[in-house]
Amino acid sequence: MTPISKTFSALLIAAGAAAVFAAPEIKVEKMTYDGGKVAAGSILKANFKLTNTGNETLKISSVRPGCGCTVVSFDSVIAPGKSGFIKPEVNLKGFSPGQNSRGVTVNSNAANTPALHLTIEFNVAAPPEAIAVSDNYLDFESAAKRTLLLSSAKKDLKVSEVVFIPQDGQNVPGWAANAPQKVKFSFAPTNDTQRDDGLKTYKLDINTPGTGKESVLGNFEITTNHPEKKDISIGGRVR
């Protein structure tokens, strides 16, 4: 083989080697996106950073979410040494409270990982109660007044009536014979404006309907203007 032929062959081999090793490669900053605690019914926006560590243009052909609740936007072309993003959005409508996850598959011409699987993890928070009550029992055995704290997202919560209904199967004194027995009360919002959950707290002071003599078991029925929780029932003892 002549020197010229040898040189030409060497150039062909070098070009072939360069062609073999010229390829795009994917490097992912984080394979799992931690969405933390999220509200049911909200939209969770995730973000994955991809870098092309190869020496050819990275072309993303498709990004397939694991369910219909997820839509994805992404950078389809990433030059060598540059970064792009995969941005899934998960619609959390209908999700049960607790830990959840959803997957996304990225298909590309990457030499190292042509099918890349990414994961979105999140914790769906339980919806707040319509009205949360501080106590579930009112004992008037040794007090003429008891206080309940009511917490709600409703900013104009009102209590229109409180009544006491004695339980069946006990000796009912005369004052409680005509059930339900209306109870005197006062109701007003508190100054608790620093709550992280966005709820408003109200103070309900309830006076005993008893005479201080006979002990009676029963239920206090509290009527509110909340569309989802019009009535609150709390057991109690009255003297």
The predicted structure's pLDDT at residue 135: 94
- 25-125 and 132-238 share one fold: yes
Over the range 119-129, which residues count as b (16 or more CB within 10 Å of their CB) and which as e?
A: bbebebbeeee
Cα distances from 150 to residues 15, 87, 129, 202, 219, in angstroms, run: 77, 41, 11, 5, 17
Tokens of 104: 């996304």
The predicted structure's pLDDT at residue 17: 47
Tokens of 183: 């109870």
How many distinct helices (H) and strands (E) make up the chain? 1, 19
CATH topology of domain 25-125: Immunoglobulin-like (2.60.40)
The predicted structure's pLDDT at residue 24: 96
Long-range own/partner contacts, residues 132-135 (CB < 8 A, 24 or more apart): 132/199, 133/232, 133/234, 135/234
- Residue matched to tokens 């004194």: 173
* Cβ(112)–Cβ(210) below 8 Å: no
Dihedral angle, C-alpha 172, 173, 174, 177, nearest 10 °: -20
Tokens of 227: 């569309």
Identify which of 35, 26, 166 has the alpha carbon closest to the alpha carbon of residue 89. 35
The predicted structure's pLDDT at residue 9: 53
The helix or strand, by DSSP H or E, that contains position 3, with its residue range, turns out to be helix 3-21
Cα angle 224-229-235, degrees, rounded to a multiple of 5: 80
Long-range own/partner contacts, residues 160-164 (CB < 8 A, 24 or more apart): 160/223, 160/224, 160/225, 161/222, 161/223, 162/204, 162/206, 162/220, 162/221, 162/222, 162/223, 163/220, 163/221, 164/209, 164/218, 164/219, 164/220, 164/221, 164/236, 164/238
Q: Which CATH number applies to 132-238: 2.40.350, 3.40.1130, 1.25.40, 2.60.40? A: 2.60.40
User: What single letter denotes the amino acid at residue 186?
Assistant: S
* Cβ(82)–Cβ(50) below 8 Å: no
| CA 158/CA 187 separation, integer angstroms | 8
pLDDT digit string (tens) for the chain, length 239 residues = 555 555 545 544 555 544 457 899 999 999 999 999 998 889 999 999 999 999 999 999 999 999 988 999 999 999 999 999 999 999 999 888 899 999 999 999 999 999 999 999 999 987 778 999 999 999 998 889 999 999 998 889 999 999 999 998 888 888 888 889 999 999 999 986 556 667 889 999 999 988 878 889 999 999 999 999 999 999 999 98
